């Protein structure tokens, strides 16, 4: 009787160990006597104990933080850069069979790719063109992890850390650039003003009466200020008509 109870308990244990339940985002890679059989799931899965083995694979997007890496840019500036990688498994069979640990492998590949790509660019490009560099890193990672059944959806550079001396140098460079732009804008303004003055002089030269009126307007504006005594020359063109009227014989 005890023997039958032992057999019954053994059967129950075997049956219970053969039942697996996979969630919607999980798949099971099943091996039969060590050979790949199929990918199963989600739902209720039956596995033959001792004959078949199953490895769970999560299909959700993995957010992996890439540790800070020491990068030497193309212009020989040392910086520390870290990033974050978003990827997921799209082929569970390859993710289990083609690589021992796809999480560790992807992390190591992301670190080396980050150093390699950023090392080909100058510091200004690393700071100003992150979107393009993110795309370059993502494409390289996606191409190399495709054999592992992994899809890299996005890569984002998080921080670019510089030492204090380099930060001060960049600040001085930015200040010099702003000063240069200010001088260029001032020079362009002077050029435009000179052009306008030249045009005004040309117009006034064609109309002497306009020049005389302008002269009188200037005298009126100066006369309004009683704080000082002003001596000014009287243009002969203004009084010549009066002299000619008094002495017609001189005309």
pLDDT at 151 over 80: yes
Query: Which of 128, 146, 162 is at the close of a domain?
Result: 162
Q: What is the pLDDT of residue 54?
A: 93
Instruction: Kindly give, in sequence order, each residue whose CB lies less than 8 Å from that of residue 93, ignoring residues fewer than 6 positions away.
Output: 29, 36, 39, 149
Residues 78 and 41 in one domain: no
CATH number at residue 148: 3.30.479.30
Q: Rounded mean pLDDT of the chain?
A: 82
Domain boundary among 97, 131, 162: 162
Condensed to tens digits (0 to 9), the pLDDT of residues 212-242 reads: 666 666 666 666 666 566 665 655 555 555 5
Residue 120 lies in a domain: yes
- Same domain, yes or no, for 54 and 75? no
User: Percentage of the chain surpassing pLDDT 90?
Assistant: 43
Same domain, 37 and 121: no
| pLDDT of res. 175 | 73
Specify whether 90 is located in the same domain as 150. Answer: yes
Please give the average per-residue pLDDT across 164-169, as a whole number: 66
Among the ranges 5-9, 157-161, 212-216, 238-242, which has the highest mean pLDDT value?
157-161
Give pLDDT, residue 167. 61
Specify the pLDDT at position 240.
59
Q: In the chain, how many domains are there?
A: 2
Q: Is 66 among the domain residues?
A: yes
Q: Which residues contact 114 (CB under 8 A, 6 or more apart)?
A: 66, 69, 71, 81, 83, 137, 157
CA 113 to chain centre: 18
> Do 37 and 108 belong together in one domain?
no
- Please report, rounded to a whole number, the percentage of residues in the chain having pLDDT higher than 70: 73
Domain hosting residue 41, numbered range: 12-58
Q: Are residues 66 and 26 in the same domain?
A: no
80 in the same domain as 22:
no
pLDDT digits (tens, 9 = 90+) for 71-105: 988 888 889 999 999 999 999 999 999 999 999 99
Is-contact 121 114, C-beta < 8 A? no
Same domain, 95 and 145: yes
């Amino acid at each position: 009787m005890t023997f039958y109870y032992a057999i019954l308990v053994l059967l129950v244990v075997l049956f219970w160990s053969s039942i697996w339940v996979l969630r919607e985002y999980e798949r099971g890679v099943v091996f039969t006597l060590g050979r790949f059989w199929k990918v199963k799931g989600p739902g209720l899965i039956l596995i033959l104990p001792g004959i078949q083995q199953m490895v769970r694979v999560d299909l959700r997007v993995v957010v992996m933080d890439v540790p800070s890496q020491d990068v030497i840019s193309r212009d020989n500036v040392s910086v520390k850069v870290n990033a974050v990688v978003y990827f997921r498994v799209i082929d569970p069979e390859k993710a289990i069979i083609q690589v021992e640990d796809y999480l560790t492998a992807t992390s190591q590949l992301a670190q080396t790719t980050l150093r390699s790509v950023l090392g080909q660019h100058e510091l200004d490009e690393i700071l100003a063109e992150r979107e393009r560099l993110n795309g370059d890193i993502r494409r390289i990672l996606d191409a190399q992890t495709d054999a592992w059944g992994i899809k890299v959806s996005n890569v984002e550079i998080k921080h670019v850390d510089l030492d204090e001396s380099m930060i001060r140098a960049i600040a001085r460079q930015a200040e010099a650039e702003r000063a240069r732009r200010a001088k260029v804008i001032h020079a362009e303004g002077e050029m435009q003003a000179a052009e306008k003055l030249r045009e005004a002089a040309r117009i006034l030269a064609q109309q002497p009466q306009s020049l005389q009126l302008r002269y009188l307007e200037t005298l009126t504006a100066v006369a309004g200020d009683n704080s000082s005594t002003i001596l000014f020359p009287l243009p002969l063109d203004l009084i010549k008509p009066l002299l000619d009227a008094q002495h017609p014989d001189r005309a």
